Structure 1
Amino acid sequence: MGRTANDLCHQLAQLVETALIDEVELSPKPGLVDAFSTGAHTDMDHVLFIRSAQSLTPFFEEMAKAAWGQPMSQALRETIAEIGRRAETAMLVATGGVNTHKGAIWALGLLISVVSSQFSRQQVFFPSIFSDVQQLVAFPDRQIQAGSADSHGKTVQKKYGLQGAYGEAAAGFPHVQRALADFWSRDIPDSDEKRLHMLLAIIASLDDTCILYRSNQQVLTHVQMLAAKANSQSLPNADFEQLHMLCLTQNVSPGGSADLLAASFFLLSIASVLPKNHQEVRISE
């Protein structure tokens, strides 16, 4: 791998770190940790999220390098998965055992790998990023332990029959696409308001397993309804405030939505390193 490739992989990893930090610093967010509040959480805060994000950067760079010049394949799928498991271990060391970014490691690990592979072939387009993710996820991770401990996501999947984070990736990250479409459709400058609309667009339709783990389908449906109503108006608005209060009173946090928001921020940021003729590529819902 030449110097240019190494530099680009490093730059992509830095963009992932920035996306994770931008997500936690976006404020105010309903039920989520942000710059001013711990939301519905008692075991994590803004400083912990920053530390966690920074601990993951070397692993995202390793994923980018592993994917450089590689097609979507069984070998790449398992290489990325192995790096991701080491990243998760490093995250838990950095946070004292708190799960801050497990979902983000999954989503952003897939995306940085696909983007790096496409950069190496000089073929970076948003629609094919998502189709390449689908192709990569279709390969099984044969190294995962069959008897591995249940996660919150797995518990919810069994109870509600949902595919969770895996299903979102296997479908080509439709909620990331929805968030980007919302961003590009609003004729207002890039701002916290515009990015909060991205979050609301995700919450409004995502079957967020983080919410379901802490509550039930009725609470999730109420959260989705308020998010959709809040997103249909300028922010702040009364529905957004109701959503915030509902998350606090029900002790729920749309953590899955936050992971997908960070993934959306990363894809927004890669325009800064795309060739000029690719920077205006758009996607549809």
Structure 2
Amino acid sequence: MNSREDEALAQAAVTALTEQLALAPKPGLPDPRDLGVPAAGRDHRALRWSAKALAPGLTAMAAAARRSGEPTPLLRAELGAIGRSTEHSVGLAGGGHRGALWVLGLLVAAAALNPRASAREVVAAAKPIAALTDKGAPRRPSRGSSISAKYGAAGARGEARAGFPHVRRALDALATARSSGAGETEARLDALLTVMSTLQDTELLHSAGPPGLRRVQAGAREALEAGGTATPQGAEQLAAFDGELRANAWIPRGSSGLLAGALFLESLPVVVTPHAVGSLAA
């Protein structure tokens, strides 16, 4: 694997994130509909812009994994340091994407360790990296880890250490929806709802508490059980669910990052062509 392939992996991850941002209507989450609302529109444009700021850090993560060749404590520490630096850069560019950076960073590193691996093999390779301790991490607990401890939720770390079960669920949901005739937008919305229906989202636990989290999970299930977003009943249920989340200012951010992870995995293996190399250099 060479540096151009590291850049290609990073770009594939950024593309997956921007495609997730472009998806609509996402219940409770920023999407292109917000562009018509002054304050929300600024926030959505900032998210799209700051997503690009992930590329250098993700490239560095891929390169670190390629040099290491295997999951090691040293690699885990290096990924953590790159991640913290990237968070700072993203903050300067407009902020956001912390959860997506965690998901995509581990998956990009795992893909660099296994250049021709399938999506499932990459997810499996990310698990031992996540299981290692980042000795350079701040000793002060993060809000997410504090919420995880308070409510017994898996949180972002638990999700990764379990081998990203919700990323795998999203991959299954994408395949199922497409095979049933759903369009790409509806397949991706169904995958997002599938993640929301069971994810113990620590951001939601913080803002809405356990009752709010249970309501979000139930609302996602209701849209899926109505037939999914490709059906009139499912689309109607999705619209009602979206309205409820926006009225309560409940934002299921954790689900969006995991969907981006699934979309990234679907782009693998990344093959660098002369055209792609030229576009990366542009």
Give TM-score scaled by structure 1 length: 0.86
Q: Deviations over 1:79-117 (max 9, x none)?
A: 11110000001011111xx4x111111111000000011
Shift of 1:15: 0.5
Amino acid of the structure 2 residue aligned with 1:221: R
Shift of 1:218: 1.4
Counterpart residue number, 1:145 = 138
Counterpart residue number, 2:54 = 56
Does the 8 Å CA contact 1:25/1:46 hold for their aligned counterparts?
A: no
Amino acid of the structure 1 residue aligned with 2:211: Q
Q: Equivalent residues in 2 for 1:180-191 (5 A)? A: 180-186=171-177, 187=179, 188=181, 191=184
Counterpart residue number, 1:110 = 106
Query: C-alpha root-mean-square deviation of aligned residues, in Å?
Result: 2.1
| Larger displacement relative to structure 2 (240-249 or 153-162) | 153-162
Shift of 1:229: 1.9
Does the 8 Å CA contact 1:12/1:112 hold for their aligned counterparts?
A: yes
Q: Equivalent residues in 2 for 1:262-277 (5 A)? A: 262-271=260-269, 273=271
Shift of 1:189: 5.6
Q: Equivalent residues in 2 for 1:48-197 (5 A)? A: 48-69=46-67, 70-95=69-94, 98=95, 100-119=96-115, 122=116, 124-147=117-140, 150-151=142-143, 153-186=144-177, 187=179, 188=181, 191-197=184-190
The count of corresponding residues between Structure 1 and Structure 2 is: 262
The correspondence for 1:15, drawn from 12, 17, 32, is: 12
Does the 8 Å CA contact 2:65/2:110 hold for their aligned counterparts?
A: yes
Cα distance in 2 for partners of 1:9, 1:147 equals 32
Task: Evaluate the alpha carbon distance shift between residue 35 and residue 217 of structure 1 in structure 2; reply closer, same or farther with a 3 A threshold.
Answer: same
The correspondence for 1:36, drawn from 17, 33, 36, is: 33
Does the 8 Å CA contact 1:84/1:106 hold for their aligned counterparts?
A: yes
Ranges of 4+ aligned residues in structure 1 off by more than 6 Å:
none
Counterpart residue number, 1:224 = 217
Cα distance in 1 for partners of 2:42, 2:203 equals 15
Shift of 1:273: 3.3
Counterpart residue number, 2:201 = 208
Task: Evaluate the alpha carbon distance shift between residue 62 and residue 272 of structure 1 in structure 2; reply closer, same or farther with a 3 A threshold.
Answer: closer
Amino acid of the structure 1 residue aligned with 2:106: L
Give TM-score scaled by structure 2 length: 0.87
Please list every run of 5 or more consecutive structure 1 residues that lacks an aligned counterpart in the other structure. 275-285
Identify the structure with the greater helix proportion.
Answer: 2
Counterpart residue number, 2:23 = 26
Seq. identity, %: 31
